[in-house]
Amino acid sequence: SSRFGRYKRKQRPRHWSVLSTTWLLERHVVHHGECPNACSWNLSKLITDPGGYSGIGIPLKNKTESVTHSPLGHSTAASRERSRDRHKSRSKDSRSEKSVTINTPPAEPLLGDSSVRGEQVQDDNWGETTTAITGTSEHSLSQEDIVRITKDLEDSVGLNCRRYLTRILAVILGVLVLLTPLAFLVLPHLLWPDKLQKCGTACEGLYISIAFKLLILLLAVWGLFFRPPRASLPRVFAFRALLSVLVLLFVISYWLFYAVRILEAQDADYQGIVQYAVSLVDALLFIHYLAVVLLELRQLQPCFSVCVTRSTDGETRHYNLGQLSIQQAALAIIEHYYSDFPVHNPALLSASKSRAAKHLAGLKVYNVDGPGPGNNPAAGLAHSQSRAMIAAAARRRDTSHNELYYEEAEHERRVRKRKARLVVAVEEAFTHIKRMQEEEQKKSPGDVMDPREAAQAIFPSMARALQKYLRTTKQQHCHSMESIQQHLAFCITNNMTPKAFLESYLTPGPTLQYSRDRWLARQWTLISEASVTSGLRDGTVFLLKCVDFSLVIAAKKIPFVQMSEEYIDPKSHKFVLRLQSETSV
């Protein structure tokens, strides 16, 4: 009986999805207005025609066998809607600069529509972005950041090679530094063991202190310098270079002193040698403290308020940064960009572009008088042309503001209508799930329905409403069918309400929320007039250019606050009821 029950349970979702598929295909046939006999031709057209009014990008290859034809006549309303949509999509294609790609299911965008221009994948490491400098006075030398040693590397060394090289150099320096005190202690025993004085408990105490200080130093160096890097910057970080040079000089000077005064003289006082090694370790700990202050603490206190604006749609955010160099500030801002800025949607800019094109498109300039003798004809022509165009545009009765107003009102109404339909469809779908769950509970208690199956079961019922809504708000390229189903399964697993499910589709979220190929922001170029290792200053402006847009960054200094103390009468700032009375005497 259990086997029978299992078989029954598997059967139901498949049955439901088959039904829903046929329902959708029938409606699709209706909308095309074609003869149902040519349905198979329509289905193939569905996959390969990105610009036409296509239905949902269902993976039809495993569902075509369940198609049923039914002679449904098309209504005039449907044909009107169909022709309007066809006309709209055609004109949209003629105006947009998108390239058309054909995606394979299941990663197909919801419409099989044109996706936005494909990006070259730069590198696959999570969180890695490359910054290249195109300043005005840069040479082709590039220096690393993570390294603790200044070294000039040639351009031919690859990026990965550079990173590993700096890591290796850092490790070598660290090992050298940590082994030096041990070497100081061990060498006298190796070289002149018979001459050494025995030192008792004082030395042993010093041994213990050296051991623990070395352990602490090891942990501190590991904690501070061997964290997974967030990014690789092209220019060396001045403080790290300074610190590494300092450490190197320090260790070298200690070695020199040791070599000259102790090894050559073969000093017999072992306690002195041990104390010398202890002083070295102490000094290393202090240098590490200096490193913590210079590298970490100094840039924590906010000093500048930077205003970051996206050039295409004007999204602006303000951040507080400390005393950073320009490249570090750019790095911090890029990280903030991915988590704060809504994803860049080029489809939303097409309206303003078309308006801009229309402004001067209606004017044609004819030059009646020929080019004058003596002066440059081309320059004079261009100059007079532009002046004439500006004057004519100013005089022309421009009614484009009217169009804009009504277009926006119409769009708003359409969005609201589609949103209402979408909300109702999603709510119905979720109640259906709840009902199914309750039935399952009653039939066989303890069985939990797979959320993935449930998502696939109810997805077709709301897919059309969701697709129409995304199309109206021009977000259809941001969400693929697979991602929507995944999100639906996620919401069902966590017992979310339909409103929670819809939230990610109603408002554009931050760039990180979408999959990588929708980001449109993978390779950044830092453009700055000042040198990128110079610090931020009041009025610093630099650019972070991407292929589609650029971020304009302006820094302003947080004002200096001067507080002074002075005594005031405690009653002077409180409310006092004052009277003026008159008495007769």
Partner 1 sequence: MSFVPGQPVTAVVERIEIQKLSQGPNLVLGFCIGGGIDQDPGQNPFSDDKADKGIYVTRVSPGGPADVAGLKIGDKIMQVNGWDMTVVTHDQARKKLTKKNEHVVRLLVTRKTLEEAVKQSMSRPGPS
Minimum separation from the CB atom of position 299 to partner 1 (A): 52
Minimum separation from the CB atom of position 530 to partner 1 (A): 56
Q: Quick one: CA torsion of 374, 376, 382, 387, rounded to 10 degrees?
A: -50
Size of the site for partner 1 (CB under 8 A): 8
The smaller minimum CB distance to partner 1, of residues 401 and 571, is found at: 571
CB 235 within 8 A of CB 133: yes
Residue 14, CA distances (Å) to 1, 5, 21, 487 in order: 21, 15, 11, 21
CB 196 within 8 A of CB 270: yes
The smaller minimum CB distance to partner 1, of residues 563 and 579, is found at: 579
Q: Does 579 bind partner 1 (CB under 8 A)?
A: yes
Q: What is the C-alpha separation between 274 and 281, in angstroms, rounded?
A: 11
The smaller minimum CB distance to partner 1, of residues 495 and 580, is found at: 580
Minimum separation from the CB atom of position 580 to partner 1 (A): 4
**Cβ-count burial 158-171 (b if 16+ within 10 Å, e if not):** eeeebbebbeebbe
Q: Does 76 bind partner 1 (CB under 8 A)?
A: no
Stretch that binds partner 1, among 24-32, 40-48, 109-117, 574-582 (CB under 8 A): 574-582
**Concatenated DSSP letters of 247-284:** HHHHHHHHHHHIIIIIITTT---HHHHHHHHHHHHHHH
User: What residues between 10 and 49 interact with partner 1 by CB under 8 A?
Assistant: none
Q: What is the C-alpha separation between 245 and 291, in angstroms, rounded?
A: 12
Minimum separation from the CB atom of position 529 to partner 1 (A): 58
Q: Does 156 bind partner 1 (CB under 8 A)?
A: no
Q: What is the C-alpha separation between 466 and 476, in angstroms, rounded?
A: 9
Neighbouring CB atoms inside 10 A of 38's CB total 13
The smaller minimum CB distance to partner 1, of residues 375 and 583, is found at: 583
Stretch that binds partner 1, among 176-184, 361-369, 431-439, 573-581 (CB under 8 A): 573-581
Per-residue string for binding with partner 1, 523-562, x by CB under 8 A?
----------------------------------------
The smaller minimum CB distance to partner 1, of residues 300 and 585, is found at: 585
For residue 552, give the H/E element and its range: strand 550-557
Q: Which two tokens stand for residue 41?
A: 């031709």
The smaller minimum CB distance to partner 1, of residues 3 and 578, is found at: 578
- Local structure of 136: helix, strand or coil: coil
The smaller minimum CB distance to partner 1, of residues 265 and 585, is found at: 585
Q: Does 568 bind partner 1 (CB under 8 A)?
A: no
Minimum separation from the CB atom of position 542 to partner 1 (A): 57
Residue 324, CA distances (Å) to 117, 243, 332 in order: 35, 17, 10
Q: Does 77 bind partner 1 (CB under 8 A)?
A: no
Minimum separation from the CB atom of position 569 to partner 1 (A): 13
Q: What is the C-alpha separation between 411 and 477, in angstroms, rounded?
A: 19
**Concatenated DSSP letters of 442-510:** HHSTT----HHHHHHHHHHHHHHHHHHHHHHTT-TTT-BHHHHHHHHHHHHHTT--HHHHHHHHHS--B
Residue 84, CA distances (Å) to 81, 294, 476, 570 in order: 5, 65, 19, 76
Per-residue string for binding with partner 1, 292-321, x by CB under 8 A?
------------------------------
Q: Does 572 bind partner 1 (CB under 8 A)?
A: no
Q: Does 584 bind partner 1 (CB under 8 A)?
A: yes
The smaller minimum CB distance to partner 1, of residues 397 and 571, is found at: 571
Minimum separation from the CB atom of position 578 to partner 1 (A): 3
Q: Does 574 bind partner 1 (CB under 8 A)?
A: no
Q: Does 578 bind partner 1 (CB under 8 A)?
A: yes
| In the block, residue with structure tokens 């303003």 | 352
The smaller minimum CB distance to partner 1, of residues 442 and 573, is found at: 573
Minimum separation from the CB atom of position 576 to partner 1 (A): 9
Where do contacts with partner 1 occur on this chain (CB under 8 A)?
578-585
